[in-house]
Amino acid sequence: MENMFEDAEPAFAYKSDNELKKAFWMFRAMGFNQLVGLGTSAILNAIKWKLPVNPILKNTLYNQFVGGETLEKIGRVADKLAAYQVDVILDYGAEAKTGEANFDLTKREFIKAIGYASSRVNVPFVSLKVTALASFGLLEKLNPFFRMNAAGFSMDTTQLTESESREWLNMTDRIFQICEVAMNKQVGVLIDAEESWIQNTIDYITMRAMQMYNQKRVTVFNTIQLYRHDRLAFLKASHAAAGSLGFRLGVKLVRGAYMEKEAARAADRNESSPIQPDKSATDRDYNAALAYCLDHLNEISVIVATHNEFSSLYTTAKLREQHLPANNGKVFFSQLYGMSDNITFGLAKEGYSTSKYLPYGPVSDVIPYLLRRAQENSSVAGQTGREVELLRREMKRRGFTTF
């Protein structure tokens, strides 16, 4: 397979010299596993003790991985990306909110984001975390009661108390209102995948939203985490159920971001882990899920959400094999803002629909997101090594020292 991701110059053309240097030193620092471990616990303690940690985060992780505090501020980033034919997925940084008033506020924020997206040329999607709109406890309580087979799906809510039933109705209403506005404004809604002990409930809500809003075109996308050993089967079951019930399936394929948390919980409870036995099993299922979606593009739209070069090249090769144009309206690539620019800009240069997942919001709201990014980038052998290598090459090309 040819590799369109080797060229560091177009990958970082959008970065000023100063931004490039900052990114280089940041990824170098994150390459030190122990530093990230220490930094993460120091940040968590500082938050607990109410120490002023936000200014430090703002100048480091936040500037690298987040677009800005408000929609207005991220407009500048979106414009910059548009100049390179790169789209944006708006990611309002709220997660793990509590209280009905906060959930309603967050709903309004999502609806505002959809309005904003529809007014821009390069913002086709917004992403949504169900935990920003619903109580974690309720999602967890319902988790064991979701059923799905080729004929359809259901959720048994009979064990809820009266007030929980009201909460449940409010929660589903909020999500359906958001999806309806999105459908009317022709903006896609990507529902993020979260921890396995609430994911069944998220899957249920998302399947219902797809049934309502994916009749003519795909508005709602579920997220499938292939680091779970049961998710390839789940993808196929979702496809069969969508076929039986007559709606189009939208999926965002990811490997999964909560691996350590999943393993720790399973070990604590003496349960078998939902995670694949090793990385190669995750890679095998991820690429099999990709192949499955690409073989059923008449019924499935897919977002290839990965920083993995092989998976990205595998997709472009399959599209060529099927004589499908790069910009076919059914296959979209996406990487997180601040990561894998070589993939994003490489794909966009070749005409593929490619986007950056662009979080925005106040520093305090995006801390869990920032800590996940720091942890993910703390392995020298993995992603960081690649980022540092590309940044180093571009630093050298622009005549800067890298030691």
Which residues bind to ligand FAD, rule: CB under 6 A?
A: 192-193, 223, 225, 227, 254-259, 275-276, 278-279, 282, 305-308, 334-336, 357, 376, 382-383
Q: Chain centroid to CA 178: how far?
A: 18
Residue number, 31 or 53, with CB nearest to ligand FAD: 31
* Least distance to ligand FAD, CB of residue 151, Å: 27
Q: Chain centroid to CA 369: how far?
A: 10
Residue number, 351 or 385, with CB nearest to ligand FAD: 385
Give the containing element (helix H, strand E) for 88.
strand 87-92
User: Radius of gyration (Cα) for the chain, nearest Å?
Assistant: 21
* Least distance to ligand FAD, CB of residue 174, Å: 19
**Amino acid (1-letter code) at residue 190:** L
Residue 96 CB contacts under 8 Å (≥ 6 apart), including other chains = 131, 132, 136, 368
* Least distance to ligand FAD, CB of residue 209, Å: 15
* Least distance to ligand FAD, CB of residue 162, Å: 32
Tell me the helix, strand and coil percentages in the chain, rounded to 5: 55, 15, 30
Residue 209 CB contacts under 8 Å (≥ 6 apart), including other chains = 175, 176, 179, 189, 191, 220
* Least distance to ligand FAD, CB of residue 227, Å: 4
Residue number, 62 or 227, with CB nearest to ligand FAD: 227
* Least distance to ligand FAD, CB of residue 15, Å: 19
Residue 393 CB contacts under 8 Å (≥ 6 apart), including other chains = 8
Residue 38 CB contacts under 8 Å (≥ 6 apart), including other chains = none
Q: Report d(CA 341, CA 265) in Å as an integer.
A: 34
Residue number, 167 or 234, with CB nearest to ligand FAD: 234
